[in-house]
Structure 1
Amino acid sequence: MQVAVFSAKAYDEQYLNQARGDISLTFIESRLNKQTVSLAQGFDAVCVFVNDQLDKAVLSALHAQGVRHIALRCAGFNNVDLDSAKALGIGVSRVPAYSPEAVAEHTLALVLTLNRKLHKAYNRIKEGNFSLDGLLGFNLHGKTIGLIGTGRIGIATARLFHGFGCQLLCHDPYPSAEVIQLGGQYTSMDELCERADIISLHCPLTPDTRHLIDAKRLAKMKNGVMLINTSRGALVDTQAVIQALKSQKIGFLGLDVYEMEGDLFFEDLSNQIIQDDVFQRLCTFPNVLITGHQGFFTQEALCQIAAVTLNNLRLAGQGKSDELTRLA
């Protein structure tokens, strides 16, 4: 099988090559979109990531070029028009559970860093400033954590906060028995927003969850709430969040994803002027911490992503579609 790997970084090449076996991989640094889809000419399949764009037009072009399978090397699939893929007969597979602990631990890292202001303390010490003024935090023990979404990553996150002695308040249409065993209580979105000290998002991006956190939901939250998003950027209405930061409704904001991250994340733009004014505004707040979609980025996760992705491609090449972790 000949596979074009789009949005390829050095670490993608390293880990995918370790698991490639008899599959031929061609690594393409560019993202897959309408402008670059011609690069897939002559390939049997494409391997893509979170910011590649697979809308109807791109899928039609891929089909015309002979591509019959799309292997997502991620869990999310909001960037793929699944209905169009199905209509064209293009299979779509993903990696639904590469390492839930990786994202859960990054979530906790954002919480602890924001709370204890570790990033600010680090810079102060480097400058010889040992003052504690402005670094006051709070104990996590006894706080109420609102988990929106208790799939694999949400469950892993629940375990971590349970270990800190936190109360777990959850919202998910499919309650987890494990979370309930940890003492988690399932409730409505409104009650979760009203009661939680820290709210963390762990659900997929769908038409129903887009802007799940909007002005109305923010208004229901506690003053000074901590909001963490390590799932998908568009779960949050960024403009509404900026207003909530200005009014001090949000006391702490931790983001590993961003609504318009496609033009920013995974690239070195340090010598350029960032044109995204909304992102730049977010960066001006002293109580905002942003990382560039690195929650998944551990050795264990990359090994698992590569293994599952290559196995999906191998099964697709053998016509064993029923064994795939597929979407279409």
Structure 2
Amino acid sequence: MEILAFGVQADERPLIERAFHGRHEVRCLDVFLNEDTAPIAAGYEAISTSVNADLNPRVLETLAAGGTRMIAQRSTGFNNIDLKVAERLGMTVARVSYYSPFSVAEFAWTLAMAVNRRIVRASTRTRDFDFRLDGLMGRDMHGRTAGVLGTGKIGEAFARIAHGFGMDLLGWDVAENPECVRLGMKYVPKERLLAESDLVTLHVPLLPQTQRLMTQPP
């Protein structure tokens, strides 16, 4: 089978080609799938897309008319795909079950520490040979409170790092994660978590219930 992959980044290409070598032929494109590029997929029974693809009803109908029967998305998120239309058209949709939770949690911590320690501002000043420390003071994470909204695999990994810093843990989720409880996490209402946490991190899927999580009234 020949597969057409949309939105393939330079560092993805060798990984994709290696994964399909000797099994299926794969053609990689750097353009994202949308209404303008969908006709390119004509004749391909299976395509691969990225999270940047726009699989609205018109795109799906174009794909189905061209013979596409399967869409494999290279991401865990799938809110960019109209699943009801895909089902009506008889198309199979697949996605990645989960990424490395550690890579996402560690990157979230990288951003948090960069903000706390004013890394970007300090780097800019240093590049300009400005070595003043004014406005660059951060705060110790040790002894402070981390609030984790969403305590699945990624939230748990984030909490473990916070625990390593010596932070207190507050959690909010539809169900408690026993591993987080073992770390000392206390599950509390969202309003209390936001009020008492020094650092708040979100690790929840985009659903109707979470779309305006930070602005929803109690």
TM above 0.5, yes or no, is: yes
Aligned to 1:43: 44
Q: Distance in 1 between matches of 2:56 and 2:209?
A: 19
Shift of 1:96: 2.1
Instruction: Give a deviation string over 1:261-306, Cα, whole Å, max 9, x none.
Output: xxxxxxxxxxxxxxxxxxxxxxxxxxxxxxxxxxxxxxxxxxxxxx
Query: What pairs with 1:1-328 in structure 2 (closer than 5 Å)?
Result: 1-21=1-21, 22-214=23-215
Q: What code does the residue aligned with 1:152 have?
A: K
SS of residue paired to 2:11 = helix
**Deviation above 3 Å: which 4+ runs of structure 1?**
none
Q: Taking structure 2 as the reference length, what is the TM-score of the superposition?
A: 0.94
Overall identity of the aligned pairs, in %:
38
Q: Distance in 1 between matches of 2:175 and 2:65?
A: 39
Q: Distance in 2 between matches of 1:31 and 1:207?
A: 26
Q: What code does the residue aligned with 2:209 have?
A: D
Q: Distance in 2 between matches of 1:9 and 1:97?
A: 19
Q: What code does the residue aligned with 1:45 have?
A: A
SS of residue paired to 2:47 = strand
Q: Distance in 1 between matches of 2:189 and 2:116?
A: 26
Instruction: Give a deviation string over 1:159-203, Cα, whole Å, max 9, x none.
Output: 111110111111111221111111111122222112111111111
Aligned to 1:268: none
Shift of 1:59: 1.4
Q: What code does the residue aligned with 1:112 have?
A: M
Q: What code does the residue aligned with 1:11 have?
A: D
Which structure has the larger Rg over C-alpha atoms? 2
SS of residue paired to 2:121 = helix
Q: Distance in 1 between matches of 2:172 and 2:187?
A: 6
Q: Taking structure 1 as the reference length, what is the TM-score of the superposition?
A: 0.64
SS of residue paired to 1:101 = helix
Q: Which ranges in structure 2 are unaligned for 5 or more consecutive residues? A: none
Shift of 1:216: 5.3
Q: Which ranges in structure 1 are unaligned for 5 or more consecutive residues? A: 218-328
Q: Distance in 2 between matches of 1:32 and 1:209?
A: 26
Q: Distance in 2 between matches of 1:28 and 1:196?
A: 44
Aligned to 1:274: none
Equivalent pairs counted in the alignment come to 217
Q: Distance in 2 between matches of 1:188 and 1:96?
A: 28
Q: What code does the residue aligned with 1:213 have?
A: M
Q: Distance in 2 between matches of 1:75 and 1:91?
A: 16
Between structures 1 and 2, the one with greater helix share: 1
Shift of 1:136: 0.9
